[in-house]
Amino acid sequence: MPFRLLAPLGLLCLLLPLHRGAPGPDGSAPDPAHYRERVKAMFYHAYDSYLENAFPYDELRPLTCDGHDTWGSFSLTLIDALDTLLILGNVSEFQRVVEVLQDNLDFDIDVNASVFETNIRVVGGLLSAHLLSKKAGVEVEAGWPCAGPLLSMAEEAARKLLPGIGTFIVEFATLSSLTGDPVFEDVARVALMRLWESRSDIGLVGNHIDVLTGKWVAQDAGIGAGVDSYFEYLVKGAILLQDKKLMAMFLEYNKAIRNYTRFDDWYLWVQMYKGTVSMPVFQSLEAYWPGLQSLIGDIDNAMRTFLNYYTVWKQFGGLPEFYNIPQGYTVEKREGYPLRPELIESAMYLYRATGDPTLLELGRDAVESIEKISKVECGFATIKDLRDHKLDNRMESFFLAETVKYLYLLFDPTNFIHNNGSTFDAVITPYGECILGAGGYIFNTEAHPIDPAALHCCRRLKEEQWEVEDLMKEFYSLKQGKSRFQKTTMSSGPWKPPAGPGTFSSAENHDGVREKKPTKQRIPLLSCPSQPFTSKLALLGQVFLDSS
């Protein structure tokens, strides 16, 4: 009987020593300042160990104090850790690493590399670092953020990934906006639409599809491995691009997911065509879901599911890769915890939305567990088996890119990432003045933050300039009681070829200078005149729907 083992194993977690900053007898929440410093120390123990023992390999092997290549040969840990350095306030090391990457990173090599992992870690990491360079004190070239060495490297890597494109809308739409080349966003949109068109009659998708035949190889439908980034990027792509169609697609999926896979605030795996349960398991990768729910304003459901997942963490001191929900125990050969970030990520989002101290307690438990179980002389080791705390000789790069970053941001409410728009930077580009750093950062699935305002810095269309001028003229005309211009609002729908020529209407032709020109549906430079899709409020990257 597996339940006989739960009590002694649970005690392993309960007996972890309480440190200063943990809740006291009065139930006070963990002290954020204390745990912020603890997290920072965790980062540098891991980061310094990588530099001393593993660089220029992709990742550190902490038990043997050496390195190995995993997802290519790109010094992945260095790229993945770069924006974390700035979030922790280390501008000098950020600047040094940028120089190292410029001098040493080479994509003209013959290696087997994962398309997905290269995109989220390398392309995403370089794009984020590029957009944060000026904030980090890097001397940027004229034309930034529409040009720069890190952007060029990201573009070079992305072009090599084009033949195998997947659901990369966050990174590839950002690339298209910054470089002016629409090919990246176009192919990413095609991938999203192909999956949408392949859903079953009951609205579900499987977790593995043959891209050549379009047939589903694995027909298990859920929210975890294989489809997690797809759902995540529908929501984040919708927010980043203010795209009502992407949000509508996710909300349709969300209905089917709730109808067929949700049971008592757990999400099971079901047969995509029939909706019958195929795997009653929780995968640790699924722990991103409460954070995603918070982004659409579904806070109550998010918290209930989060608390379910948190009980698993308390049981083992981490999240096993697979957890059998009916049995309340791990699944054979899936007992490990490779220091994944997803539950901590959800805690960070939900704490920003609710301020619930329970979420800080998860952060405390994560710090205590990881330090107690996983810390070794040369970094932090993957936990091979949560039942007996055996370790494996690997420290994945996402530990520094995601796990530590989300922990730090959970305990650092005043970090620039959490900016509410009260401060910003005005940057002059070849296309005019651009506002950056106002907040609302969108994290890619490797926790690399993208400034959504940057997408409007390098693609100011003539039509958009005219629209702004028309709106300003209308404003002043109305103010003077002489309304002469008819207001126009550009569509915030997806970027696609127009059905026919379009015009911006006005009562006059502005002295005949502007002729009717064909237009594409584009995201407006200024989205203030109208709220996108059905949102009432978009703040700090969160979208609150009418029904919330």
> What is the pLDDT, as a whole number, of residue 67?
98
> What is the pLDDT, as a whole number, of residue 28?
75
| Under 8 Å between Cβ of 199 and 214 | no
In 476-545 the beta strands, taken as DSSP E runs, fall at: 535-539, 542-545
Amino acid at 231: F
> What's the rounded mean pLDDT across residues 243-253?
98
Specify if 301 maps to a domain.
yes
Specify if 129 maps to a domain.
no
pLDDT, one tens digit per residue, over 143-168 is 999 999 999 999 999 999 998 877 89
Domain count, the chain: 1
pLDDT, one tens digit per residue, over 100-137 is 999 999 888 877 888 999 999 999 999 999 999 999 99
> What is the pLDDT, as a whole number, of residue 459?
73
> What is the pLDDT, as a whole number, of residue 400?
98
Residues recognised as catalytic: 117, 228, 321, 342
User: Residue 330: beta bridge partners?
Assistant: 323
Tokens matching residue 439: 């907040």
pLDDT, one tens digit per residue, over 1-17 is 332 323 323 323 333 33
> What is the pLDDT, as a whole number, of residue 151?
98
Q: In 10 A of CB 228, how many CB atoms?
A: 21
Residue 388 has pLDDT above 90, yes or no: yes
Q: Which of 205-219, 322-336, 521-535 tops mean pLDDT?
A: 322-336
Specify if 355 maps to a domain.
yes
Parallel, antiparallel or unpaired: strands 220-221 and 66-68: unpaired
Residue 404 has pLDDT above 60, yes or no: yes
The two most distant CA atoms of the chain are separated, in Å, by 85
Q: In 10 A of CB 73, how many CB atoms?
A: 17
Phi, psi of 370 (to 5 degrees): -65, -40
Amino acid at 152: S
Specify if 224 maps to a domain.
no
Specify if 25 maps to a domain.
no
- DSSP assignment of 213-275 equals T--EEE-EESSSTTTHHHHHHHHHHHHHHT-HHHHHHHHHHHHHHHHHTEETTEE-EEETTT-
Q: What is the mean pLDDT of the chain?
A: 84
Specify if 352 maps to a domain.
yes
Contacts of 99 (CB under 8 A, 6+ apart): none
Cis peptide before 532 (omega within 30 of 0): no
> What is the pLDDT, as a whole number, of residue 484?
40
Binding residues for Ca(2+): 445
pLDDT, one tens digit per residue, over 434-459 is 999 999 999 999 999 999 999 999 97
C-alpha 52/C-alpha 71 separation (Å) is: 20
CB-hemisphere CA count at 13 Å for 380? 27
pLDDT, one tens digit per residue, over 316-371 is 999 999 999 999 999 999 999 999 999 999 999 999 999 999 999 999 999 999 99
Specify if 395 maps to a domain.
yes
Determine whether 16 is exposed, middle or buried from the number of CB atoms within 10 Å of its CB (0-12, 13-18, 19+): middle
> What's the rounded mean pLDDT across residues 401-430?
95
**Closest C-alpha to 20, from 11, 30, 10:** 30
> Per-residue b/e over 144-158, b at no fewer than 16 CB within 10 Å?
bbbbbbbbebbbebb
Expressed as residue numbers, the domain containing 320 is 287-413
User: Residue 322: beta bridge partners?
Assistant: 283
Binding residues: 445
Specify if 197 maps to a domain.
no
> What's the rounded mean pLDDT across residues 396-400?
98
pLDDT, one tens digit per residue, over 55-66 is 999 999 999 999
